[in-house]
Amino acid sequence: MDVSYKTLLLEQKPNGVWILTINRPEALNALNSTVLSEMGEVLRQIGEMSYVDARVLIITGAGEKAFVAGADIKEIHELDEEKALTFAQRGQSIFHEFTLLKIPVIAAVNGFALGGGCELALGCDFIYASENAKFGLPEVSLGLIPGFGGTVRMARAVGQRKARELTYTGGMITAAEALTYGLVNKVVPQAELMTTVMKTVDAILSKAPVAVGAAKFSINQAWDMDVEEAQKNEAKIFSELFHTADVKEGTGAFIEKRKANFKGE
């Protein structure tokens, strides 16, 4: 993908690993319409790739202060009701693309993840954070509520009571607190953040890519189903994997006591 962006850095690593960096350090990587538009384009292109070219997407922020410190307040200040609806729907749609991608999306939160930045992290499959990271939904301080899915995903991440407290007060929590609440998966020193993320990426890369994608699909679909319906759906997805060469390769390698060579087919 040979494209240059005004607000993003996109780096391709070996084995189908992509690192997307929000690159507005002068504005603490705040989200504006350009960021959202460019992010949508990146997700569209990665979504069209085969497993040969795309296996994992990592999202982080430029610099050492912020992952994404929120939406661009100057831009928000100029919105009217109609434009605000469009802006919120656009952000929600783009963050929902993380869910629709067949590959894992990991947030590497390296500083402030506030407002839209917190919502961006919540849209990812899971979150690793540096010790200096801080999370919050401070929109009520601006006379607003989260508009990019924060009131929905925060409750699912930490439970309704904690989500209400965080949203009503608009307060910030530390990475350590976020770990306690189940908002993040792991907290490490900032210098070790990407190394730690890459260790998990390596573990994912060693597994069957179609199976990882199917697991993501099943987990995400289960949110909107009761237990019985979700289990039926899981069984259907499980059975459909037997069309893939990776199932024969994985089970055959286990029987033959050798390392599996998955091809994502």
Whether 175 and 84 share a structural domain: yes
Distances (CA, A) of 206 to 47, 104, 258: 21, 13, 13
Q: Of all helices (H) and strands (E), which one includes residue 112?
A: strand 112-114
Catalytic residue among 41, 78, 119, 265: 119
Share of the chain above pLDDT 70, in %: 99
Pair (228, 109) in one structural domain: no
81 among known catalytic residues: no
Q: Determine, yes or no, domain membership for 264.
A: no
199 plus 225 within the same structural domain: no
48 and 153 belong to one structural domain: yes
- Here the CATH number for the domain that contains residue 216 is 1.10.12.10
- Give percent above pLDDT 90 in the chain: 94
Instruction: Tell me which residue range forms the domain holding 242.
Output: 209-256
Mean pLDDT (the chain) is 95
Assess whether 75 carries a catalytic annotation: no
117 and 229, same domain (yes or no): no
Does one domain contain both 141 and 229? no
Query: What are the tens digits of pLDDT across the range 118-131?
Result: 999 999 999 999 99
Average pLDDT over residues 11-33: 96
- Identify whether residues 152 and 109 lie together within a single domain: yes
In a domain, 263, yes or no: no
pLDDT, one tens digit per residue, over 198-238 is 999 999 999 999 999 999 999 999 988 999 999 999 999 99
- Whichever domain contains 160, its CATH number is 3.90.226.10
Whether pLDDT at 2 is above 60: no
In a domain, 262, yes or no: no
Cβ within 8 Å of residue 200, ≥6 positions away: 106, 128
- Clarify whether residues 223 and 201 are in a common domain: no
89-105 tens-digit pLDDT: 999 999 999 999 999 99
Q: Which band of pLDDT confidence, cut at 50, 70 and 90, is reported for residue 62?
A: very high
Are residues 68 and 31 located together in one domain of the fold?
yes
* Distances from the Cα of 28 to the Cα of 74, 83, 98, 186, angstroms: 13, 24, 22, 23
8 Å CB contact between 151 and 167: yes
Question: 78, 139, 192, 229: which is the annotated catalytic residue?
Answer: 139
- Shared-domain flag, residues 161 and 196: yes
- Note the pTM of the prediction, 2 decimals: 0.94
